[in-house]
């Protein structure tokens, strides 16, 4: 879980250890402020580049720790000026 979000601030249905794709999308928005659509997570699961997940039958389940790691990598480093940004 993100260090910046208190556990009590996360809705109960998003506190499970693994989240379905719809819940993962909601978690990323609620905890990290990243508006990632369910369809985007599905596409990234197909082509790569998305958060790691487990499969339970046909259902993808995203561990919250993996969502946190992926979100922080996607956000990148905090900078104070555009001259600090590297690609």
pLDDT tens profile 3-48: 555 667 899 999 999 999 999 999 999 999 999 999 999 999 999 9
- Calculate what percentage of the chain has a pLDDT beyond 70: 91
Residue 43: per-residue pLDDT: 98
The 10s digit of each residue's pLDDT in 59-69 is 999 999 999 99
The reported pTM is: 0.85
d(CA 57, CA 71): 25
How far, in Å, are 33, 53, 81 from residue 56 at the CA level? 27, 10, 44
Whose tokens are 């956000």? That residue is 75
Tokens of 59: 């259902």
- In 3D space, the residue among 62, 87, 76 whose CA is nearest the CA of residue 34 turns out to be 76
């Amino acid at each position: 879980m993100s260090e910046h979000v208190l556990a009590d601030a996360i809705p109960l249905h998003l506190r499970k250890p693994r989240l379905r794709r719809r819940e993962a999308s909601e978690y990323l928005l609620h905890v990290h402020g990243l508006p990632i659509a369910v369809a985007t997570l599905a596409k990234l699961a197909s082509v790569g580049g998305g958060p790691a997940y487990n499969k339970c039958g046909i259902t993808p389940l995203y561990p919250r720790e993996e969502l946190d790691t992926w979100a922080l990598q996607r956000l990148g480093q905090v900078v104070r000026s555009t001259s600090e940004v590297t690609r």
